[in-house]
């Protein structure tokens, strides 16, 4: 089974809200709300990935010093959704989640259908990819 490393970020604004981004049509898991980020490319650290992805996806500048690792998600996608076990198209997501409270620029949905600033207690009301769901309680407790 292929392992995919994806870095994600919980951006937290001055009011304690967390940014969620809606995946656009035409991509896997389209229409679901996620923490912004992306695949770690060969030779990149997760922090370098987030700096690059947050600029590309949201138009903001972040420094590595402002990214604090919080937790991670580990989830298998593929055949288990159909109940038939691991198959050749299955892949396993390993996703470190960072928290960021400082950036420069204004958040804009450059690659997402939409973005929303959400109070941690309301994040469970958003449909999210299976790997992101367990992170919601951790973020809520962290920011609580």
Residue 50: predicted pLDDT: 98
CATH class of the domain at 2-143: alpha beta
CA gap 26, 29 in Å, rounded:
9
Place of tokens 């309680």: 137
Given a cut of 60, whether residue 81 has pLDDT beyond it is no
pLDDT in tens, 6-55: 999 999 999 999 999 999 998 888 999 999 999 999 999 999 999 999 99
Question: What number of residues does the chain have?
Answer: 144
């Amino acid at each position: 089974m292929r392992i995919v490393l994806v870095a994600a970020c919980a951006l937290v604004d001055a009011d304690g809200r967390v940014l969620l981004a809606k995946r656009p049509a035409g991509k896997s898991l389209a229409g679901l709300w996620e923490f912004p980020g992306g695949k770690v490319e060969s030779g990149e650290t997760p922090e370098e990935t987030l700096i690059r992805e947050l600029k590309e996806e949201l138009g903001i500048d972040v420094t590595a010093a402002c990214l604090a690792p919080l937790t991670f998600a580990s989830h298998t996608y593929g055949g288990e959704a159909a109940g038939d076990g691991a198959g050749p198209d299955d892949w396993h997501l390993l996703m470190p989640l960072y928290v960021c409270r400082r950036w420069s620029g204004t958040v804009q949905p450059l690659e997402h259908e939409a973005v929303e600033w959400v109070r941690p207690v309301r994040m469970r009301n958003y449909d999210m990819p299976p790997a992101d769901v367990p992170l919601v309680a951790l973020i809520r407790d962290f920011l609580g």
